[in-house]
Structure 1
Amino acid sequence: MTPEQYCQDKAAASGSSFYYSFRFLPDARRLAITALYAFCREVDDVVDETLEHEVAHAKLAWWREEIGRLYDGRPGHPVTQALAPHVSSFALPKEAMLEIIDGMEMDLKFARYERFEDLLRYCRRVAGVVGELSARIFGFSDAATLQYADRLGVALQLTNIIRDVGEDARRGRIYLPIEDLHAFDVPAADLQHGRESDAFARLMQFQIERAQDYYRQAWALLPPADRKAQRAGLLMAAIYRATLAEILLDGPEKVLNQRLSLTPLRKLWLAWKTWTFGYRP
């Protein structure tokens, strides 16, 4: 199996919406973004699938060393081997790759976040930085596009948190800021035990509006000259915003006990529509 096939299989197996946004890209950009996504999946899986924190820390330390080997020109893992031809082509900074690992490691250190500002730091590391790297791969002419990509990455991560709030709580992680739970009078135990309530529905409506605001901020920052190049990221925005709309329609309190996901056919249709006719915020 080639390194490129390894990354392709990793992306396809995840079932993520990201996979649909890759399909429309030219070959070089598609191979690069698929390798980047596979890297993110690898380090995320370390945290999600390793039961002992000490072992997880050791594996992430290995990945930091592997990133060093990648930038020294001697990658050993199929993912970094697939990334190697694209590091210089798309000017992917080593510091950004390492910051993604730092973000994943936050899941080993923190199960709760006191304030939104604390959560935002996490979101920027695990998703905003990924957005910036993706924007480099898609192509840009204006530095403001990297700011757009950061905001979009945060918006996508906030959407993940909303969608997965019940599943995450049952795994011992509550990403919703403690200050927000207090403001809406929602005990953490309600999340952990799947207790739906009007107060929780209002809390989730607030979280959805916050995520939507980050999508609006991202669009406002994207220079018109780069909108065509950044279509793959805008595909993600279209799919994820449709997910938020479905959560609202279904009843936002239901995310505690079910994980809403669009069908593959609808994702593909949204991807084709956005690629062909453009993004409509």
Structure 2
Amino acid sequence: MNLTEAYSYCKHIASHYENFPVGLLVAKNLAPHVHAIYAFSRIADDYADEGYSLKEKEREDEQKRKKRLDSLETWRAYLLDPKLCAKNPVFLALHDTIEKFQLPLNLFTDLLDAFKQDVLKDRYENFEEVLNYCKKSANPIGRLVLYLHRQTTDLQLLSSDCICTALQLANFWQDISIDLKKNRIYLPKDEMEQYKVNEAELFARHFSSNFRDLLSFQVKRTEELFDKGKVLIDTLGWPLKLEIALTWYGGKTILDKIKKINYNTLASRPKLGYKDIPSLLFKSLRRIYRKRANQEIAFF
């Protein structure tokens, strides 16, 4: 298999899984490299989540768990030693991308660590543990996008981390009912105790004022992270600026939808739909052009 065929294979994987708005605004010359990174992450994530048709709280046997972990370790070996995977199309494309853009390998190993954690860990003692997971599961993706665009100042990387962590947290809070089916709870244990919410109530989908207050607290701290990262939009060029703005407003909209259902994500899962696209696009463009106008006024 040659390099062109390898990138085509990655594109096929990305097109099979990809949802709006991921990748719609990627520059044409960068698209193959985004597909390579996406294919690597998507397949590894599938290894981590393989077999999750289990009933709530049902444990998979150790043999199946070991198989999932072994698959992830094979992925890690392929990442660290190109000689082991000369015929694997995903890694043929990925190693070419890594070399061309000098991408830090630790960003990929962090992702694999997060996928491994998905297999081994389903409870989090405190918010620091949740943030450490986000640091490995979400932040590397944002940083890789910035590296591809050669936008890697300290401000850009740290702002990206804030946005990516906030996006991951927003996903946790909207997906509580989904994650319960996988026996995963991302609400910190110590804060559940503080707000007097227990696991039995979660699995029973019992919505209470205590749960509402707990999730309201989580949403507020997530909004603060989004706000800390918003400055990233203003440092970027077109079209990445628009893509990040759409992503930022998309995450904030999810939090707004959680508020509108009174924080009851035990009963339903708020999500973005095609009806949200005009609003997201309007808000994103308004943000970009207002900022540009203010800068022009300041210049004169």
Bucket of the pairwise TM-score, normalised by the shorter protein: 0.7 to 0.9
For 2:211 and 2:236, how far apart are their aligned partners in 1? 39
Alignment correspondent of 1:57: 69
RMSD: 2.6
Change (3 A) 1:252 1:223: closer
Preserved CA contact (<8 Å) 1:38 1:79 = yes
Where 1:22 maps in the other structure, the secondary structure is coil
- For 1:226, give the aligned amino acid: L
For 1:98 and 1:270, how far apart are their aligned partners in 2? 37
Change (3 A) 1:185 1:235: same
- Give the counterpart of 1:109 among 111, 120, 128: 120
Q: Please report the TM-score for the alignment, with normalisation by the length of structure 1.
A: 0.87
Once the two structures are superposed, residues 224-276 of structure 1 have per-residue CA deviations (whole angstroms, 9 ceiling, x without a partner) of: 433644442332111121111112112211x1132222113534x35644664
Preserved CA contact (<8 Å) 1:112 1:174 = yes
- For 2:248, give the aligned amino acid: A
Alignment correspondent of 1:4: 7
Change (3 A) 1:77 1:261: farther
- Give the counterpart of 1:153 among 160, 164, 169: 164
* Cα deviation, residue 207, structure 1: 1.1
Where 1:252 maps in the other structure, the secondary structure is coil
Change (3 A) 1:272 1:69: farther
Q: How many matched pairs?
A: 275
- For 2:14, give the aligned amino acid: A
Alignment correspondent of 1:27: 28
For 2:132 and 2:49, how far apart are their aligned partners in 1? 20
* Cα deviation, residue 46, structure 1: 0.7
Q: Percent identity?
A: 24
Structure 1 segments unaligned to the other structure (5+ residues): none
* Cα deviation, residue 8, structure 1: 3.3
* Cα deviation, residue 158, structure 1: 0.3
Structure 2 segments unaligned to the other structure (5+ residues): 52-59, 292-300
For 1:35 and 1:210, how far apart are their aligned partners in 2? 33
- For 2:213, give the aligned amino acid: R
Alignment correspondent of 1:264: 274
Q: Please report the TM-score for the alignment, with normalisation by the length of structure 2.
A: 0.82
For 1:227 and 1:205, how far apart are their aligned partners in 2? 35
Preserved CA contact (<8 Å) 1:156 1:240 = yes
Q: How does 1:1-281 map to 2 (within 5 A)?
A: 2-14=5-17, 16=19, 19-50=20-51, 52-70=64-82, 75-140=86-151, 142-220=153-231, 222=232, 224-226=234-236, 228=238, 229-253=240-264, 255-267=265-277, 269=278, 272-273=281-282, 276-278=285-287
For 1:64 and 1:196, how far apart are their aligned partners in 2? 41
For 1:40 and 1:107, how far apart are their aligned partners in 2? 13
Once the two structures are superposed, residues 104-123 of structure 1 have per-residue CA deviations (whole angstroms, 9 ceiling, x without a partner) of: 11122211111100111111
Preserved CA contact (<8 Å) 1:124 1:150 = yes
For 1:241 and 1:257, how far apart are their aligned partners in 2? 20
